[in-house]
Structure formats: structure tokens, C-alpha cells
Amino acid sequence: MSINNNYSSRYTNDKVNAVYPVEFVVRAFLGTYPGLHMSRDHYVDQRILDLGYGDGRNMPLLNNLGMKIHGVEIAEDINGHVRKRMKALGIRADLKVGTNAHIPYKDNYFQYLLACHACYYVEPGDHFSDNLAEMTRVLEPGGYLIASLPMTGSYILKNAKSLSDGHYEITSDPYGLRNGTVFRVFRSKQEIQKIFSNDFSDFNIGYCNDMFWGIHQKVWTLVCRKKIDHTTLRKRN
């Protein structure tokens, strides 16, 4: 089965309407940390893309913040299931089919882009640079990217096949969902900044290192902003 079918089956078989946000997402949007610089006063009516939103678990939080929610997933079955789930919760969300490298929205459309355990999936024939270019395209200058990125040593990378440029093919997913897919993995904060710094600045980088009952998850947590082209702004003015 393809990853599209795997995830479609997983999410559509989940009939529970209650969903709960990922911890790092709560901390990013609501936390007050000396190493995190993201304004908490401008969420209302801001457009946010929840890229690779899965079961929609972060949407109730985004809705409570007053944001205008848009989402992209790899299969219409997932979109249809989550539309019903959000309707039951009284949440409006515009959901479309797409991938990390093919986001069906116009340039500079979003003020925020959330990629929770998502943007590092690389489709066959693509490179992580394609994902990054597309995320950059749909964010407006000054817009925020909030993302998680795999660290070396995470459970999902056990026996993974090293490819090139930090890309790995997953071979031993204990959940049986992602075998054969390609992840972009990051070894250090410096590597993240090097890869993202052409288009982003104001880096806020943390990490999670969790061990829960046999699942050792290690991920970077990233908040940064799309660079503003001041030369272009001067020409417009």
C-alpha cells in the first residue's frame, strides 16, 4: 500500500471527534520563553496553513486563537473525514489535497504556516529544497513558519537507509505506515539555519527528546520568519 492509502485508512478509521493538540504546538503559540520570539497578540483573523494536518488535532487550538484555518493533506479521504470531525466541533477549515512540494494556494497567502511532523516528508522525485521553496512561496514576507524536524537518533530512523543530503528512506516504522518513504533529517541547529537561512530569519530552535513506552522520539522545534525583501518594498513605495 502507498503512504496515501496507509494514512487514509488510519485516519478515516478513527471515529472519535475529540482531538488534542501536539505539545510543542501549544508551547509555540501560547508559551512565554526567553528563546521564543513570536507575538501572541496578532492571531485573530490571521490565515494559517496546517500543512500535513493528519487527524486535525491542532485545529481546535488554532480555532480558539481566532485564526482562519486552511489545511493540506495527501488524500481527499483524509480531508473528507476531518471536515466532518471539524463540523461536529463547530470549526471552519478550508481543506485541500496537496503535498509539501505542491501546495494549492497562491503566493504570499498565509501569515502563518504550521508543519507539525509533516514538512520533512519528501515525495518520490522531489528534494527537501522543493518542499522548502513551496512553503516559502505561500507565506507572506514576515510570516511565521512553525515546524518540527527529525533529529538523528529518533525511533523512526532505526535501520533507515541513508540516501544523500540528509535524506533517509524509512525501513523499520513500528506502526507500519511510513516504510519506503523519504525523510529529510537534521543533525544540528547549525544545519537547520544553513538550509533555511536563504529565505528565513529570526530563528528560534528547540528540541524534544521523549521516551514513551518504547518510542524514543527526537525532534527539532523551529519557529522562524520569512525574510522581507526591503528592496522590493522600497520600489513599491
- More confidently predicted of 236 and 35: 35
- What integer pLDDT is reported at residue 231 of this predicted model? 44
- What integer pLDDT is reported at residue 229 of this predicted model? 81
Domain spans in the chain, listed from the N-terminal domain onward: 3-151+187-236
Look at the domain 3-151+187-236 and name its fold: Rossmann fold (3.40.50)
Are the C-beta atoms of residues 131 and 119 closer than 8 Å to each other? yes
Characterize the bridge pairing of strands 200-212 and 182-184: unpaired
Residue 91 phi, psi (nearest 5): -115, 130
pLDDT tens, residue by residue, 104-123: 999 999 999 999 999 999 99
Reference 121, options 158, 95, 156; nearest CA is 156
Reference 25, options 136, 109, 113; nearest CA is 113
pLDDT above 60 for 42: yes
Long-range CB contacts (within 8 A, 24+) of 182-185:
182/121, 182/122, 182/123, 182/124, 183/120, 183/121, 183/122, 183/150, 183/156, 183/157, 184/120, 184/122, 184/128, 184/131, 184/149, 184/150, 185/120, 185/149, 185/150, 185/151, 185/152, 185/157
Mean pLDDT of 179-194: 98
pLDDT above 50 for 232: no
Q: How are strands ordered across the β-sheet holding 161-162?
A: 121-122, 182-184, 167-169, 161-162
- What integer pLDDT is reported at residue 236 of this predicted model? 35
pLDDT above 60 for 235: no
